Structure 1
Amino acid sequence: MDIISLILVFLAGAVLGSFLNILVIRIPKERGLGSAPHCTRCGQKLVFWQYIPILGWLIQGGRARCCQRPLHWMSLVVEVLTAVTVMLLYQKYGLTLTFAYFVFVVAILIVTAAIDWIHRLIYTFFVLVPALIVMLGASMIPEHSILNAFLGALIAGFAFVLLFILARILFPAKAAPFGLGDVYLSIFIGAAVGILDLMPALFYGILMAGVFSAALVIMKYSGRPNVPDYIAYGTFLCLGTIGYLLIGDLPLF
């Protein structure tokens, strides 16, 4: 696979990441996609070079040109992560239906991860409708099927409903480790990877969440100020699934 193709796919992934950033910004605000890009800090209309994927953020030095307020670091992360992930998926699958399928899956996961990290929210419509789409599209993917996707969604949803109920019993309502949004997200992940790959995909996310939580506990008890009490669990489920799609099984599986 030649380097020119990989560079072009990386650039295409960066453009996709720029679009995903628009979704990350506008979905929580319930805004449509029709209006021109505006500064997220002061609302001023952006000039074209400010929203060039990756470079726009870097040229501005992480600060909005119009008002000099800091730009959210998540915007850069979304574009870089999307570009790198799309390139690696292309390297793994080539220009195939499988590649297109997993680019769609990754796009949903990245947007969900970013919104959950910033707002602690997972939008039901944004994960359940794609769950139905990937379930129907599973028949076009080698070693995947509608039945495999359905069983993956069913088992994941059932397992996370049990965890949700247990969390509500063990923790006060406002302090539960995760909510119904994580249940819906697990259904999407189960449909996307199928029952056969469900356990390792979720394991990656659970492992990442556990390591991050342990780090927060250590920082909190070492006296570091402003350590958050909760984590965006859905973000780690999304990142873990992306990691699994790129890396594959750990020796454990």
Structure 2
Amino acid sequence: MALTLLLVFVIGLCVGSLLNLVVVRLPREGAFGGWPRCTRCGRPLAWWQMLPLVGWLAQRGRGRCCGRPLGWIFPLVELTSGVSLALLYARYGLGAPFFYLAFVAAVLIVTGAIDWLHRFIYTFVILGAALVAVIGAPFVPHHSLLNALLGALVAGFVFAIFFALARAMYPGRSAPFGLGDVYLAIFIGAAVGIVNLMPAIFIGMLLAGLFSAALLLMRRAGWPGVPEYISYGTFLCIGALGYLLARGL
């Protein structure tokens, strides 16, 4: 069992490496082809630099070709993917729940990483994933088509109200809560269902609130470079993924 879990973890790391390609290339709009390149200088990567987690550690977090920092989010994506698949396999084995939640985890990881880097959520990705979550729900124990639809509708309705309030509070300015967060909530609602919606969403909202409070204290203390807004969707992704890994459906 331990060796099997280790194998699944390694496979998860490789999946995370593929997810990183999406994280890097999706914002470039269509630049999915070609050999992977350094995210800082654009030079082609050697084969060993593409090894999941190992490549980043071997370079000590800096590009071998340019010496510039590569960013911590890329190894974190790979590690999160590996841990997620291992935990899901330990709970469900290779059944429908495993593949369903592995898909959900991949969407949450990619969406959370892109939102953290760019403060942007891709509508076609998240709503397409929500449709897949609804279609796949009847094949997963303790989930159903009705459960997924109710979760999506309730989450979308509540977060649409949040979005309207944010726009009213910040007229003519960039609001801290965007329409992409509404779409993300719809996906989370479809993925976890109405039964698990409240805790899955609440965890992310709590984390976002705590992080916002910390940033506010840092700004008042005179810290330089403190961002005005947070990537709210990232915290929703963290909360939903953490809940699913700890509790399941």
Give the shorter-chain TM-score range.
over 0.9
The aligned runs of 1:22-41 (5 Å cut-off) are 22-41=21-40
Distance, in Å, in 1 between the alignment partners of 2:26 and 2:112 is 13
Question: Counterpart of 2:96?
Answer: 97
Question: Counterpart of 1:148?
Answer: 147
Question: Counterpart of 2:212?
Answer: 213
Question: Counterpart of 2:10?
Answer: 11
Query: Does the aligned pair in 1 maintain the 2:112–2:237 contact within 8 Å?
Result: yes
Question: Counterpart of 1:223?
Answer: 222
The aligned runs of 1:1-150 (5 Å cut-off) are 2-150=1-149
Instruction: Report the alpha carbon displacement of residue 34 of structure 1 after superposing the two structures with TM.
Output: 2.7
Count residues with an aligned counterpart. Answer: 248
**Percent identical residues:** 56
Instruction: Report the alpha carbon displacement of residue 155 of structure 1 after superposing the two structures with TM.
Output: 0.6
Comparing 56-65 with 31-40, greater Cα deviation is found at 31-40
The one-letter amino acid of 1:162's match is: I
The one-letter amino acid of 1:33's match is: F
Distance, in Å, in 2 between the alignment partners of 1:87 and 1:11 is 9
Q: Deviations over 1:187-242 (max 9, x none)?
A: 10011011111111000100110111111111111221111111000000000000
Distance, in Å, in 1 between the alignment partners of 2:30 and 2:6 is 33
Q: Return the TM-score normalized by structure 1.
A: 0.95
Distance, in Å, in 1 between the alignment partners of 2:173 and 2:151 is 29
Distance, in Å, in 2 between the alignment partners of 1:227 and 1:69 is 22
State the SS of the aligned residue for 1:86: helix
The one-letter amino acid of 2:217's match is: I
Question: Counterpart of 2:203?
Answer: 204
Distance, in Å, in 2 between the alignment partners of 1:173 and 1:36 is 42
Instruction: Report the alpha carbon displacement of residue 175 of structure 1 after superposing the two structures with TM.
Output: 3.6
Question: Which sections of structure 1, spanning at least 5 residues, go unmatched?
Answer: none
Distance, in Å, in 2 between the alignment partners of 1:20 and 1:138 is 23
Distance, in Å, in 2 between the alignment partners of 1:46 and 1:179 is 35
Query: Does the aligned pair in 1 maintain the 2:26–2:32 contact within 8 Å?
Result: no
Comparing 78-87 with 172-181, greater Cα deviation is found at 172-181
Q: Return the TM-score normalized by structure 2.
A: 0.97
The one-letter amino acid of 2:59's match is: Q
Comparing 4-13 with 171-180, greater Cα deviation is found at 171-180
Question: Counterpart of 2:247?
Answer: 248
State the SS of the aligned residue for 1:62: coil
Instruction: Report the alpha carbon displacement of residue 65 of structure 1 after superposing the two structures with TM.
Output: 0.9
Question: Where does structure 1 differ by over 3 angstroms across 4 or more consecutive aligned residues?
Answer: none
TM-align CA RMSD: 1.2
The one-letter amino acid of 1:207's match is: L
Instruction: Report the alpha carbon displacement of residue 182 of structure 1 after superposing the two structures with TM.
Output: 0.3
Question: Counterpart of 1:179?
Answer: 178
Distance, in Å, in 2 between the alignment partners of 1:175 and 1:25 is 24
